Amino acid sequence: MKFVDEAYIDISAGDGGNGCVSFRHEKYKEFGGPNGGDGGSGGHVFAVADVNLNTLVDFRYSRRHEAKRGEHGMGSDMFGAAGSDITLKMPVGTIISDAETGEVLYELLTPGEVITIAKGGDGGFGNMRFKSAINRAPRQKTPGWPGEKKNLKLELKVLADVGLLGMPNAGKSTLITAISNARPKIADYPFTTLHPNLGVVRVGPEQSFVVADIPGLIEGASEGAGLGHQFLRHLQRTRLLLHIIDMAPFDDSIDPVAQAKAIVGELKKYDAGLYQKPRWLVLNKLDMVPTEERAKRVADFVKRLRWKGPVFEISALTREGCEPLIHAIFRHVQAQHLAEQAPIVEVDPRFAGDASA
């Protein structure tokens, strides 16, 4: 299935049915009184977060979605039937925004979450609603209210704890295959990965985290080089970025330090918030470096890059160094998750700054 992470749709909730003007006609009752019923309410448009979906491709080919209108009111005190609702299934992580203004309206972040994205119109009143002591035979009625109509933009940002970042052929797909249940395409040419892949990494019983692998970046992606920046959005909700470095490039003229700086530069151009996320260096393909040269090459790389953060030395192909990396990631993700769940303690302003209190 083609991966589609952006789509535009037009939705229309159902209009309410019109009220009815009617009078009771019974034998021997000349003035039976009003009995016109109300119109039915229009159908709503709902969106539900479905864990079984991972693309917006269905909305690329089906743009218009309309709920049914309510039926009109009828005589004999009969109200019109309500219009049927429609429910649109969307992947978890979908952002729904106004297509014209760009304002974010809703976000589907929880599996099974249901939201109303367009409300159906209320039904109009029949003439029985207007009966009073001074108006025994009302002929008033009201039309149904129109349902909401919206032009929406759908944008999918996958939900993952960890995002893999790096140049094409850095070994990201091999790494996610080695540590998770994901099985992306792997080949010895650039841009093998053409859409994001998600993998669940099992650390222990009921202990896991989700990794996202996106297509490789190259210098000039902000100007459209390679596949551009279009997939970086899928890293915006991650808690940690793993910057994968190819320590054994196929061409001796390729400088891993220059490539690493280019990736960081593209990250900064795209989004300052993404640039400031926790980022670890993962030096990959060390199985292709002679054992006696590894320490020197790693030390030289870290020194030239002036890197102060965590560094992990691995071989995704042989899984060397992957276990320590997995456990370090899990501890980091768990710590961040617990910090986000920590209760906020409000301090009485009378005691603020008073240690003795």
Which residues sit opposite 154 in a β-bridge?
A: 7, 96
Q: Which pLDDT score, from 0 to 100, does residue 217 have?
A: 58
Q: Name the CA radius of gyration of the chain, rounded.
A: 30
The CATH number of 6-156, from 2.70.210.12, 1.10.8.870, 3.90.78.10, 2.60.40.1180, is 2.70.210.12
Decide if 13 contacts 148 (C-beta within 8 A).
Answer: yes
Token look-up 């929406």 returns: 152
In Å, how far from its chain's centre is CA 214? 15
3-state helix, strand, coil in the chain (%, to 5): 25, 25, 50
Q: Where are the domains of the chain?
A: 6-156, 162-341
- Two tokens at 276? 């400031």
Which residues sit opposite 39 in a β-bridge?
A: none
CATH fold for domain 162-341: Rossmann fold (3.40.50)
Q: Which pLDDT score, from 0 to 100, does residue 274 have?
A: 79
- Two tokens at 200? 């669940």
* Whole-number Å distance between alpha carbons of 284 and 179: 14
| Short-list 261, 210, 203, CA closest to 239 | 210
| Short-list 85, 94, 5, CA closest to 49 | 94
Q: Which pLDDT score, from 0 to 100, does residue 346 have?
A: 53
Q: Which pLDDT score, from 0 to 100, does residue 267 have?
A: 80
Q: Which pLDDT score, from 0 to 100, does residue 4 have?
A: 54
Task: Provide the 8-state DSSP code for 34.
Answer: B
Q: What is the DSSP string of 288-325?
A: GS-HHHHHHHHHHHHHHHT--S-EEE-BTTTTBTHHHH
Q: What is the DSSP string of 187-198?
A: -SSS----S-EE
**CA dihedral in degrees (304, 305, 309, 312; nearest 10)?**
-80
Tell me the average confidence (pLDDT) per consecutive run of 10 residues in the chain, 357 residues long. 70 95 79 87 94 79 92 91 93 89 90 92 93 87 94 84 83 85 51 62 79 65 46 75 87 84 82 84 90 90 89 90 91 80 51 42
Q: Which pLDDT score, from 0 to 100, does residue 12 have?
A: 95
